[in-house]
Amino acid sequence: MSLVRRPNVRLHEARGARGSHISSHRWRRPSPPLWPPILFACHSPNPPLRKFFSLMTYDFSNPHNPGPNAPMKWIQIVLQLLLGTSANRTQSLAPKILLGIDFYGNDFSLSRDAGGGAIIGRDYLALLEKHRPELQWDKNSGEHFFFYTDNKDIRHAVFYPSSKSISLRSEEARSRGCGISIWEIGQGLDYFFYLL
């Protein structure tokens, strides 16, 4: 047993299941060749000490490319590429995958000097109270959003999870036999927990 593996075995035995994150948000077009190490880790007869992998499907957009945080089509594409179409592969790999669901949102400036970033529940509620915006549903991304104009006359787009968006993502994970992971507990609205 290697020196690196031995301490990890002790940690695993002492603390229980260990997991790793799979980052998908860096690719606009995910590429299966990037994933063989993950598939090896899940199917190897002597797998690394990982019981699950948290698939981070959020952070799809950023201040330079504002939009939804975790579009449903993106989630479906990433899961399809990872799980494939083989029933055997899906059945053996899916239980080891935790679909990452965001409990935070983004407030993007729509000016030429693009800016903005993550917001948590209290920020979201403050924006709703101050601006009284009309919530809109984007059926393509499966996310709620709204627009507002700040005191410097700069227009913003805010994307934030809702009961509907969380339910859609939870159902997608369930339908594929995956679990879920949350980023990050405590950042969302209290009622989010009742949806899980």
Q: Tell me, yes or no, whether 50 lies in a domain.
A: yes
What whole-number distance in Å separates Cα of residue 89 and Cα of residue 95? Answer: 11
CATH of the domain at 83: 3.20.20.80
Q: Tell me, yes or no, whether 71 lies in a domain.
A: yes
H or E stretch covering 145: strand 143-149
Q: Which two tokens stand for residue 32?
A: 């299966």
pLDDT in tens, 35-46: 545 554 555 555
pLDDT in tens, 88-131: 666 778 898 999 999 999 999 998 887 889 999 999 999 999 99
What whole-number distance in Å separates Cα of residue 178 and Cα of residue 55? Answer: 10
Contacts of 158 (CB under 8 A, 6+ apart): 105, 106, 107, 108, 119, 124, 127, 133, 145, 146, 147, 148
Q: What is the pTM of this model?
A: 0.76
Report H helices in 67-118: 72-83, 87-93
Supply the range of the domain harboring residue 78. Answer: 5-103+162-195
